[in-house]
Amino acid sequence: SLGLYLVLQNLVSLAWGDDTKTIRTAPIVEGHNIFGGRITTVQIVIIVVSGLLTCALALLMRTKFGTALRAVANDNDLAHSAGIQTDHVIMGAFAIGSFLSAVAAILLCFEMDLTPTAGFKLLVMAVIAVIVGGINSLAGAALGGIVLGLAQNLAVWRLPSKWQDCVAFALLIIFLLFRPFGIIGRAPSQQRI
């Protein structure tokens, strides 16, 4: 996956160049004052759309497809032997993941400028959020994202903004040392043979 990412990143650089691009067309205005902090309309839209998509995904996981998806993720061979068409489920999972990634990318394009390497930092932050929240839990991943975002942005009150990435990695190290299965995650049960 990382090799494919690097290939695609360099193809984007070859096709459109390495310079910074922007798709914002509206004038830059001061954000809304909420509890002494500033938040832009685009950021509010990002929060609302993210919440709606998270709820939709949680509802999807309660359907027959969601049950099949969890079964395939748990044990592909056993799910196949139970009559689940695992190839269709895997293809559906990739389609849903691609759709969610596309929506996130489009929303973030309105918030920040674009470079061919812009996605890598977001990818690393997503991995940290999933580890902090709990790898085996959708709610944990969402909670991990909230915890990571709050930690990074609250740290800016006391530290320069260039330390936000250090805060993220410090949080990752703390969780790996003291709670390696995340906030909601559980340690796998021991199997005896």
**Residue-wise DSSP of 64-125:** HHHHHHHHHHH-HHHHHHTT--HHHHHHHHHHHHHHHHHHHHHHHHHHS-B-TTHHHHHHHH
Q: Which residues of 76-106 are buried (b: 16+ CB within 10 A; e: fewer)?
A: eeebeeeebebeebeebeeeeeeeeeeebee
The reported pLDDT for the residue numbered 188 is 65
Helices (H) and strands (E) in the chain, counts: 8, 2
- SS3 of 61, please? coil
- pTM of this structure: 0.75
CB 133 within 8 A of CB 140: yes
Low-confidence ranges of the chain (pLDDT < 70): 188-193
The reported pLDDT for the residue numbered 89 is 93
The reported pLDDT for the residue numbered 192 is 56
- Structure-token match 């998806």, residue found: 69
The reported pLDDT for the residue numbered 189 is 64
The reported pLDDT for the residue numbered 191 is 54
The reported pLDDT for the residue numbered 87 is 92
The reported pLDDT for the residue numbered 48 is 94
